[in-house]
Amino acid sequence: MAKSYIARQSELQMERSMEKEKAKKLRVPAKVLVVFVRQLSIMFKSGIPAVEALDTLSNQPESEVLGQVVARLSKLIGEGHRLSNAMSYFPGIFDQVFVSMVAIGEESGQLDVSLERLARWKERDFELVRMVKGALSYPLFILALTLVLTFFLFYAVMPNFVSIFEEMKVPLPLPTKITMAITDASQNPGTWLIITAVGVAIYGVIREQWKTEQGRIRMFTFLHEVPLAGRLIRLTTVSRFAGAIETLLESGLGLQKTLRLGGLSSGSPIVKKASEDLVQRVSDGEPLSDYVMMRVDLFPMAFAQYVATGEETSQVSKMMGEASRLLDDEVTYKVETLSATLEPFMLGLVAFIVGFVLVSIFIPLYNHIGNLGT
């Protein structure tokens, strides 16, 4: 009997462990989560009890996953858990900043206010990330489309012209020889084997690098060096860092924990490492601005000036908010510049490829027609 009880407890523990691992992998679109937080804030402000509010919001037509998670939150609260504790079971949906904000609201008795601040921050953060992704996705789409069309051109169209050139027995210009070499390579299985092997190797290296903190830092350091896009990524992560600090400080969280959570919310391992250094320096009694001004490779000078002003006036949260909005404006400008720069560049690339192929086709045909007339 005792053995059966122990075995049953072991099975239950394994089930809970598996459920936690599964919960960590759950994800919800940022836009859907923002709407949920806004709705929950309004319902709490109206005095609706947590269980009743969550039961109502468990109907999520835009995300079945979120609906199931909200229903689970309601059940956990009914069992005596706090909302922040229940949310911590789903770190893939509710990150540490989210859980900390909810915990602060519970302790201060102003959960609706904390959720309102959280909703405002999440909305700004979502719009910022969406804008950057939109700016980068368009040129990447054009580049992918160019590669696909180029592959189709050399794999399906050019072999017919290669056969014609070989039958003409005329001297071929350099562009035609290059085009023929690329066409022959595209027909060779060995070429695709090499390309596949290189692609798999690059994917493996990136995957291994992403598993470690130092590897992620190296990858982001490389991204920061990419012209135009690198500065855009750096500004975005620092803006997210500043916005999170503003929201957390306004909620009453301590500076050291705020810095640590701000680094996590930035989405950049470089900013996260910098936030840990900031925590150490703050604990040693050093000003934030001293370290920020030393890291001009990461933090813009304007951001450092806002931090220094915030420390001098004891308004760090307000200055962080102003810095975040300033960086958001610069990101918007950079996005517009990036789009304006890349669009003609990508169109020029497509025109060059098409023009090169046309020249390589028509020059030998023109020469051959000229030879026939003599």
Q: What is the pLDDT of residue 270?
A: 92
The pLDDT-based confidence of 309 (bands split at 50, 70, 90) is very high
CB 299 within 8 A of CB 234: no
Burial class (CB in 10 A: 0-12, 13-18, 19+), 26: middle
Question: What average pLDDT does range 121-135 have in this prediction?
Answer: 80
Q: What is the pLDDT of residue 136?
A: 73
The pLDDT-based confidence of 14 (bands split at 50, 70, 90) is very low
Would you say residue 374 has pLDDT above 70? no
Write the single-letter amino acid at 233.
I
Question: What average pLDDT does range 147-157 have in this prediction?
Answer: 80
Task: Give one word for 274, left, alpha or beta, with left for phi > 0 and alpha for psi -120 to 50.
Answer: alpha
Count of alpha carbons within 13 angstroms of residue 39, beta-carbon side: 16
SS3 63: coil
Look up residue 360 and give its two tokens.
């390589």
Q: What is the pLDDT of residue 134?
A: 77
Q: What is the pLDDT of residue 109?
A: 78
Would you say residue 81 has pLDDT above 60? yes
Q: What is the pLDDT of residue 266?
A: 85
Query: Which letter, b or e, does each residue of 212-234 get, where b requires 16 or more Cβ atoms within 10 Å of its Cβ?
Result: eeebbbebbeeebeeeebebbbb
The pLDDT-based confidence of 21 (bands split at 50, 70, 90) is low
Burial class (CB in 10 A: 0-12, 13-18, 19+), 263: buried
Would you say residue 203 has pLDDT above 80? yes
**Mean pLDDT of the chain, nearest integer:** 82
Q: What is the pLDDT of residue 4?
A: 55
Q: What is the pLDDT of residue 2?
A: 47
The pLDDT-based confidence of 6 (bands split at 50, 70, 90) is low
Question: What average pLDDT does range 28-47 have in this prediction?
Answer: 87
The pLDDT-based confidence of 47 (bands split at 50, 70, 90) is confident
CB 98 within 8 A of CB 118: yes
- pTM metric for this prediction: 0.74
Burial class (CB in 10 A: 0-12, 13-18, 19+), 338: buried
Q: Which residue has the higher pLDDT, 233 or 16?
A: 233
Question: What average pLDDT does range 126-134 have in this prediction?
Answer: 80
Write the single-letter amino acid at 192.
W
Per-residue pLDDT tens for 158-195? 887 777 777 776 677 888 888 888 888 888 888 888 98
Domains and their CATH numbers in the chain: 18-94 (no CATH), 119-374 (1.20.81.30)
Q: What is the pLDDT of residue 198?
A: 92
CB 249 within 8 A of CB 320: yes
Write the single-letter amino acid at 234.
R
CB 132 within 8 A of CB 331: yes
Residue 300 dihedral angles phi and psi, to the nearest 5°: -60, 150
- Terminal Cα distance for the chain, rounded: 106
